[in-house]
Structure 1
Amino acid sequence: MAALLLWIPLMPLLSSLLLLLAGARLGERPVALLGVGSVALSALFSLAAILSFSASDGVAWGIETLPWFSALGLEVGFSLHFDGLSAVMVGVITGVGLLIHLYSVAYMAGDADFARFFAYLNLFVAMMLILVLAGDFLLLYLGWEGVGLCSFLLIGFWYRQPENGYAARKAFVVTRIGDVALALGLLILVQQFGMLNIQDSVDQARQLWPGSDLAGWVALLLLGGAVGKSAQLPLQTWLPDAMAGPTPVSALIHAATMVTAGVYLIARTQGIFMLAPQVLQLVALVGAMTLFLAACSALVQHDLKRILAYSTISQIGYMFFALGTGAFSAAVFHLMTHAFFKALLFLAAGQVIMSLHHEQDTRRMGGLLRPMPFSALCFAIGCAALAALPLTSGFYSKDAILLQAYAQGGAGFAWWLALAGALVTALYSLRLFVRLFLGDCRTLPEPDNRPLLCWPLGILCLLALFGALIPQPLHDVFSAAPQAHVPLPVHLLVLAMPVIGLVAGIWLLLRHRDWRQAFATGALARWWRAGWGFDVLYDWLLVRPLLWLARVNRRDLADLPVQLLVWTSRICHQGLSRLQSGRLRHYAVGIVGGAVLILAVVL
């Protein structure tokens, strides 16, 4: 059964290579069969691996092949590892990824670069699978950098539009900051323990680092990598601009793959973070601040996909908050349910955008309930799960985070921020649905009900409603948190907060239109709409000084010593070349003069 692990990432990887080499000579149907079929096979292998894992009573297993290289006593092998955390991640990536692939066949039909799109998409899935199945840090880092490369290729897929290229470069550069931090952390682990195996390194840290400052530094560097890839403060600015890519790309990046990589990294190395409680508290604070700030920004956005982008940042913030409070199982649980309802929202948004001739401004939408009832139903279910309304998958996972966090640390500042974020989430979810489907119709839609667009949405609707019933085989990864009593008023408050936000939103919509318009045009809303000014701040602190330095250093001061050597050589050449006149009397005079000079010196 161990060979199954090798085939899970290998199927989309091989199809990606085939599409890159020969896709341009194939028609859309063979490309679609190859692209979707490989991910479907990967999903079947994943299912078989999960069933085998469950049948073995949750015993972790893996595969190790021939070593990559051996140098300075360090053996680097190609190893894969499968446990409860891997099972959840693989199931989400291949399951949701397969639905997004099916949707993409219809969404991208007729595109001139249809084959290139699926080549990149399959490579993205393969790299993410390598990341979550890696048994050693080097293979994990390969997948980590691979998804970064693929995000650059997919965000800038329509590269002929300059803004798309800018968004791709921004995502690539910003996430590189976190990648450098991650690389430094992994190098410290290798230097200290002389190994790359993830489980063995974490076990060694537990034995040798209690009370050591090294645990804190490594945890801080790993957090830096996770913050960059998962778009958390202060490196969250790339994700809203990543909406430049095709909508299926947005669904894949934001729901099942790249942005969850940071959550997976912290969960996988939780043994190191447990040795650094201050860093763990920082994880919770970063998550709480991110979820609240992003929720406020989502509340005032006008672009449909940017609303969903800020929503993703906020929901990933909930996962970081859960990790920081020790609620690791709740964080992974929310990762899974979020993949369901966020993929549903993005794909439903893509259907709306296509029907409105690629219009994304919600101010030009409205009244779509009657002409697009199926999309309205999908959005209603997705928004209900996003707002954590009762009996949806988001309700169970988000409530688990808030209740377990309260049990672990009580009602601290971060917990109240997370609770307030639940209220704001309900507000912007209601605002999004009302803007799209209620009121007057501002743009006449042309509904597209092709089966490949509708069937994935139908399946995701069921997962968004009932996905919380899927068991979480995490007992072999995270030790059970001690049961602590949560007072009944806290239960009721957590349960009521999304409902309060929903009721407050309805009251504002019905009674205070003038106040809403005044707020929407006010300074605070403009500040939130601009992402709290982080782009402007970074532009003044980093971009402008670097551009000024580049202008000042146009001739590059580092080249001056080399240029001085060139100048000296040129002067010497010009001086000596004049002695080579080609005239015999000049040479004779030189010889006689030199001889006289030598005799004068000798005598």
Structure 2
Amino acid sequence: MYLLILWLPLLGSIFSGLLGRFLGHKGSSVISVICVFLSMFLSFVAFYEVGFMGLNYCIMLSPWIEVGIFKISWSFLFDSLTVTMLVVITVISSLVHLYSLEYMQNDPHLPRFMSFLEIFTFFMLVLVTADNLVQMFVGWEGVGLASYLLINFWFTRLAANQSAIKALVVNRIGDFGLSLGILTVFYIFQSVDYFIIFSLSPLFSNYCLNFGGINISGLTLIGVFLFIGAVGKSAQLGLHTWLPDAMEGPTPVSALIHAATMVTAGVFLLIRFSPLLEFSSTVLNILVLFGSLTAFFAGMSGIFQNDLKRVIAYSTCSQLGYMVFACGISCYNVSMFHLANHAFFKALLFLSAGSVIHALANEQDMRRMGSLIKFLPLTYSLMLIGSLALAGFPFLTGFYSKDFILELTQVMLNKNIHSIEGSFACWLGNLSVFFTAFYSFRLIYLTFVNSVNTTRETIMKSHESSLLMLIPLIVLGFGSIFIGYLGKDLFIGLGTDFWKSSIIILPSNSYFIEVEWLSVNLKWLPFVLSALGVGLATIINTTKAHIYLYNTFYRNICFLINKKWYWDVLYNRFFVYPILNFGYLVSFKNLDRGFIELLGPYGFSKIVPTWSYIFSQLQTGMVNHYLFFIVLGVCLFFLILFNQIQLLIFYSVLIFFI
């Protein structure tokens, strides 16, 4: 049963991709949807058995690689962390598959699209069920490949080509860091198996590696390399530039990448390695700093974006920052709870945005929308629910996890734990709440409430989507309302043993219980900031108050934020262009076409023209002549290597017969 959770999406991908020409749109769609829904049903069964009944499973299929002490098997681990990810992935993937049937119905390549969605789901399931680093890396790279195929699905568009290549190249930086982490793990622990690594981690807490006379903690080095991998895949500050550009793919792709699969892989990696990260305070501090900065800068960048999907993409980046710095304060269970909650309301936002784009003939600029509340009332209601959950409105799904993370940062600040990191996490995290509420309701006003700003023909043709698109939205709407409340006691409740040994938190790093005694006034701070953000968005979008803010400083700040803080420009100027210039001027012109050619056949022919003429006559074009020289070269090689006359006689006879 457990292996069927993985095999069903793979089978669906094979049938949809290879037999799509014969099955047609309906046949490939039915097969792919049935496969992923069966996988979802089995994931719920696994969640019940492992999560509620406490039965962990480790299934070994067969040996894979055995070289000396390096032994890897195809084996799968099903613990509480794994089954939680299985439910999140399969539920969101199933709803996205169902939604795609209607959204992509007019696309002639629908079977290929469904095949790519299925293979994406399969590789993500491989990633979360692996019980060793190498098998996890297979899923990690497979997810990256599938994301390239999906972002570049409309491959005739230049913007889609560029975005897909950018996502692939930027993620290679993180993948390189993860590769170094895997090599370091094997060097220190002599294994890449999770059970061995986690059980030996306490014994290596003081183990150091010597580089040039400098001692570096082994666990810290591993943690830094793993974090670099997470930075690339989960779009943390520095390698986040690929995520907004990934919006060039179809909207169901955006929902699948942002809600449940690819971007959460880095956070999952950090949570999975909690037994190792807990022994390195340096890595935890790095997680806090990068996570809080990502939440702040991504939240601020989303304020002045005008593309509907790009605003939601920056909100994803900001929420991933919350998850990462929750790991940095050793609250991995809260981070996982927010990951599960975020999947529902972020998928709701993206699919609702797809419904709006579908109704407006593929228009994505919010400035060209407006008054859609009259034409798309159900979509408006569901997007409002998603926006309120994202902003942390009380008693919706986002409130139970995001506000709890912020309360934990306030405990850090009050206790003066990691003073600088605690201040960063607390203040930047709370400011991000203000920005999140502001851009969420700016989106609502520009898209649904404000006066219409498009052509009469377009607005009169707009209508609610069909039932196949609305059913996933309604299901996600209920999830965005109730999942947080239903799961809070199970995932982060006091005394819960749901996570068992899948998440390890050292007693010295745990101050989880102290949140219960936090001042009520401090607990109200995130809600007050959210209300301020909603109020400011309301004032600016319903009145002309923003006109009085138009001075030079304000315009410059708006321009800077609208240009995404010039991250892409800086990368191009200081990294991309110098590397390209080096490749052309030094590597190509001076080395390939210069130094190497002069020392090679071209230079030899110019220096010794007579000999070059003689050698050129040997190029007869006859295969038997070339075979003679190949065998002669092999004979000379063995003669020089072994210096045995018997070999010379043997090969001479062989040449004679040839």
What TM-score, normalized by structure 2, do the two folds share?
Answer: 0.84
Deviation of 1:567 after TM superposition, in Å, equals 3.0
Deviation of 1:147 after TM superposition, in Å, equals 0.4
Q: Secondary structure at the match of 1:27?
A: helix
Structure 2 counterpart of 1:171? 167
1:531-558 alpha-carbon deviations (Å, 9 max, x no partner): 1111010010111112212331333615
Q: Secondary structure at the match of 1:81?
A: strand
1:43-91 alpha-carbon deviations (Å, 9 max, x no partner): 11111111111343x3422101210121122211011111111121111
Provide the C-alpha distance between the structure 1 equivalents of 2:409 and 2:14, rounded to a whole number of angstroms. 44
Report 1:503-542 matches (<5 A). Answer: 503-511=535-543, 512-515=545-548, 522-542=555-575
Structure 1 residues 385 and 135, CA gap change in structure 2 (3 angstroms): same
Provide the C-alpha distance between the structure 2 equivalents of 1:504 and 1:162, rounded to a whole number of angstroms. 38
Deviation of 1:408 after TM superposition, in Å, equals 4.2
Structure 2 counterpart of 1:438? 449
Structure 2 counterpart of 1:457? 473
1:145 pairs, out of 141, 147, 150, with: 141
The amino acid of 2:138's aligned partner reads L
Provide the C-alpha distance between the structure 2 equivalents of 1:221 and 1:160, rounded to a whole number of angstroms. 37
Structure 1 residues 373 and 516, CA gap change in structure 2 (3 angstroms): farther
Structure 1 counterpart of 2:530? 498
Provide the C-alpha distance between the structure 1 equivalents of 2:612 and 2:49, rounded to a whole number of angstroms. 82
Provide the C-alpha distance between the structure 1 equivalents of 2:146 and 2:549, rounded to a whole number of angstroms. 40
1:424 pairs, out of 432, 435, 439, with: 435
Q: Is the 8 A contact 2:359 2:465 kept in 1?
A: no
The amino acid of 1:29's aligned partner reads K
1:8-40 alpha-carbon deviations (Å, 9 max, x no partner): 111111211222221122211111111111111
1:235-264 alpha-carbon deviations (Å, 9 max, x no partner): 000001000000000000000000000100
Which deviates more from structure 2 when the two are superposed, residues 322-331 or residues 211-220?
211-220
2:271 pairs, out of 267, 287, 299, with: 267
Provide the C-alpha distance between the structure 1 equivalents of 2:439 and 2:254, rounded to a whole number of angstroms. 19
Report 1:552-567 matches (<5 A). Answer: 552-553=585-586, 554-555=588-589, 557=591, 560-561=595-596, 563-567=598-602
Provide the C-alpha distance between the structure 2 equivalents of 1:31 and 1:515, rounded to a whole number of angstroms. 57
Provide the C-alpha distance between the structure 2 equivalents of 1:281 and 1:577, rounded to a whole number of angstroms. 65
Q: Is the 8 A contact 1:520 1:526 kept in 2?
A: no
Listed as ranges, the gaps of 5+ residues in structure 2 are 209-216, 415-421, 492-497, 616-658
1:6 pairs, out of 3, 8, 13, with: 3
Deviation of 1:130 after TM superposition, in Å, equals 0.5
Q: Is the 8 A contact 1:288 1:321 kept in 2?
A: yes
Structure 2 counterpart of 1:597? none
Report 1:468-507 matches (<5 A). Answer: 468=484, 469-470=486-487, 471-472=490-491, 473-479=498-504, 481-482=510-511, 483-484=513-514, 485-507=517-539
Provide the C-alpha distance between the structure 2 equivalents of 1:373 and 1:519, rounded to a whole number of angstroms. 39
Provide the C-alpha distance between the structure 2 equivalents of 1:349 and 1:515, rounded to a whole number of angstroms. 31
Q: Secondary structure at the match of 2:451?
A: coil
Provide the C-alpha distance between the structure 1 equivalents of 2:20 and 2:169, rounded to a whole number of angstroms. 29
Q: Is the 8 A contact 1:171 1:242 kept in 2?
A: yes
Provide the C-alpha distance between the structure 2 equivalents of 1:121 and 1:138, rounded to a whole number of angstroms. 23
Q: Secondary structure at the match of 1:412?
A: helix
1:60 aligns with 2:62: no
Which deviates more from structure 2 when the two are superposed, residues 269-278 or residues 564-573?
564-573
1:163-212 alpha-carbon deviations (Å, 9 max, x no partner): 11000000000010000000000111112222121132122122223364
1:110-156 alpha-carbon deviations (Å, 9 max, x no partner): 21111110111100000000000111111100000000001111111
Q: Secondary structure at the match of 1:98?
A: helix
What TM-score, normalized by structure 1, do the two folds share?
Answer: 0.92
Identical-pair percentage:
36
Report 1:91-106 matches (<5 A). Answer: 91-106=87-102
Deviation of 1:160 after TM superposition, in Å, equals 0.3
Which deviates more from structure 2 when the two are superposed, residues 522-531 or residues 460-469?
522-531
Structure 2 counterpart of 1:86? 82
Q: Is the 8 A contact 2:204 2:219 kept in 1?
A: no
Report 1:178-257 matches (<5 A). Answer: 178-210=174-206, 212=208, 213-257=217-261
Which deviates more from structure 2 when the two are superposed, residues 536-545 or residues 507-516?
507-516
Provide the C-alpha distance between the structure 2 equivalents of 1:183 and 1:577, rounded to a whole number of angstroms. 47
2:401 pairs, out of 397, 401, 406, with: 397
Deviation of 1:283 after TM superposition, in Å, equals 0.5
Structure 1 residues 439 and 509, CA gap change in structure 2 (3 angstroms): closer
1:289 aligns with 2:286: no
The amino acid of 2:410's aligned partner reads Y
Where does structure 1 differ by over 4 angstroms across 4 or more consecutive aligned residues? 516-521, 576-580
The amino acid of 1:439's aligned partner reads N
Provide the C-alpha distance between the structure 2 equivalents of 1:577 and 1:285, rounded to a whole number of angstroms. 64
Size of the aligned set, in residue pairs, is: 577
Structure 1 counterpart of 2:584? 551
Q: Secondary structure at the match of 2:154?
A: coil
Which deviates more from structure 2 when the two are superposed, residues 373-382 or residues 519-528?
519-528
Provide the C-alpha distance between the structure 2 equivalents of 1:111 and 1:243, rounded to a whole number of angstroms. 18
Structure 1 residues 519 and 250, CA gap change in structure 2 (3 angstroms): farther
Report 1:287-326 matches (<5 A). Answer: 287-326=291-330
Q: Is the 8 A contact 1:103 1:456 kept in 2?
A: yes
Deviation of 1:6 after TM superposition, in Å, equals 1.4
Which deviates more from structure 2 when the two are superposed, residues 189-198 or residues 173-182?
189-198
Provide the C-alpha distance between the structure 2 equivalents of 1:518 and 1:338, rounded to a whole number of angstroms. 37
1:414 pairs, out of 407, 417, 425, with: 425
RMSD: 2.0
Provide the C-alpha distance between the structure 2 equivalents of 1:392 and 1:519, rounded to a whole number of angstroms. 40
Q: Secondary structure at the match of 2:65?
A: strand
Deviation of 1:328 after TM superposition, in Å, equals 1.0
Structure 2 counterpart of 1:380? 384
Structure 2 counterpart of 1:18? 15
Provide the C-alpha distance between the structure 2 equivalents of 1:556 and 1:46, rounded to a whole number of angstroms. 58
1:75 aligns with 2:44: no
Which deviates more from structure 2 when the two are superposed, residues 42-51 or residues 178-187?
42-51
